[in-house]
Amino acid sequence: MAILNDELTQPEQITAAEQGASAKRAGLLTAAELDALVGHDALVLDHISKRFVKRGGGAWWRSLTGNGKNGKNGKKIIRAVDDVTLTIRPREIFGVLGSNGSGKSTLIRLISTLLLPDSGHIEVFGHDVVREERAVQRLINRVSVEAAFFRKLSPMENLLYSARLYGVPASQAREQIRHILVRLGIKPDRIGQPLESMSRGMQQKVAIARAFLTAPIFLLLDEPTTGLDPRSKQDVQAFVRELRDTHDATILLTTHDMDEAEALCDRTAIIDGGRIVAQDTPDNLKLAVAAKLGLDHPATLTEVFMAYTGRDWEEHEAEESDDEE
């Protein structure tokens, strides 16, 4: 295993796989479509809001169309995303930092066309997510903690199936699948075993590999390292950086892992109760909070979160334990 890792980290060994990934991207989009992306911001959110209603005693949610009434018939209106505005530049790794129930996953679902906004406007590389959803779907790939697989099948079989959906030939996909899975720390002898025999952390790695497979232009990572051990987290984080640096990918990362946000993100936004309460580089946020608190050293990201939300992680987790994003 050590030999495999050493070989894969050599530049001349990575080149062929990287070229294959770039070729797959080119196969998904025409040259004209790739050229059309130039000059656009990767993501524009303009006053986006999304509300749900939670019925008293119920566990299911229903989207409101704007006619819902708060407080009647046991209904509780939840503002999952509330007037959010932000812009992400191409090749940027942008983090959205917030605890459970803060609106992170709802925001990802809105961007990935799985939910419709109640108000506001979303564009991905100039394409409107409501009017041009197919165009947006060809540009993005999403990883979440709720990834679905055929669990009787192996990682290789699952990823070959995904490759076919994206129009990547099996012969071309096999080498890339092995390359990605080994880079993420899955041993070669496990690649052909059923997913149901693997831990949650290993299954999460396969979900991440599926997103990386087509070298996406815009990658949405919704708490991608949840359930992973520290070494596996480092493997994923290194691959995320490589995807940006080598393939010019733009990455939106949601997390409540402070170390992960600091290690990966060029800029970070803090979301609380569906609203963006702060937005800047991690270093600038720490300096601003240090000045606000009168510290003689830069604040930590935990202190930044507490300063902008008025609570710590444990308090917020307790408040939101009964809510769903």
pLDDT at 3 over 80: no
- pLDDT of 106-163, one tens digit each? 999 999 999 999 999 999 999 999 999 999 988 998 888 777 788 899 999 999 998 8
| Assessment of whether the complete model's pTM goes beyond 0.75 | yes
pLDDT at 316 over 80: no
Give the bridge partners for 122, in sequence order: 45
For 80, phi then psi, to 5°, come to -70, -40
In this prediction, residue 6 has a pLDDT band, given cuts at 50, 70 and 90, of: very low
Helices (H), the chain: 2-8, 11-28, 31-36, 104-111, 133-139, 155-165, 170-183, 200-212, 230-247, 258-264, 282-293, 301-309, 313-320
Report pLDDT for 28.
64
Rounded distance, CA 311 to CA 305, Å?
8
200 Cβ contact partners less than 8 Å away, ≥ 6 residues apart? 227
Element spanning 49, H or E: strand 43-55
In this prediction, residue 244 has a pLDDT band, given cuts at 50, 70 and 90, of: confident
Q: What is the mean pLDDT of the chain?
A: 81
Average pLDDT over residues 300-307: 93
Rounded distance, CA 53 to CA 241, Å?
38
Report pLDDT for 26.
42
Report pLDDT for 312.
53
- Locate 202 and state its tokens: 């290993």
pLDDT at 24 over 70: no
Total count of residues recorded for the chain: 325
- pLDDT of 36-75, one tens digit each? 888 899 999 999 999 998 776 544 445 544 444 455 566 7
pLDDT: is 252 or 246 the higher one?
A: 252
Amino acid (one-letter) located at 40: H
pLDDT at 288 over 60: yes
- pLDDT of 88-111, one tens digit each? 999 999 999 998 888 999 999 999
169 Cβ contact partners less than 8 Å away, ≥ 6 residues apart? 163
Closest by CA position to 81, among listed 32, 36, 45, 28? 45
CB 98 within 8 A of CB 256: yes
Q: What percent of the chain has pLDDT over 90?
A: 42
In this prediction, residue 240 has a pLDDT band, given cuts at 50, 70 and 90, of: confident
pLDDT at 270 over 70: yes
Per mean pLDDT, which of 24-33, 49-58, 280-289, 303-312 is the most reliable?
Answer: 280-289
In this prediction, residue 16 has a pLDDT band, given cuts at 50, 70 and 90, of: very low
Average pLDDT over residues 246-262: 89
Report pLDDT for 205.
86
Give all domains of the chain, ordered by start, each with its CATH number: 2-45+88-320 (3.40.50.300)
Report pLDDT for 211.
82
- pLDDT of 191-206, one tens digit each? 999 988 988 878 888 8
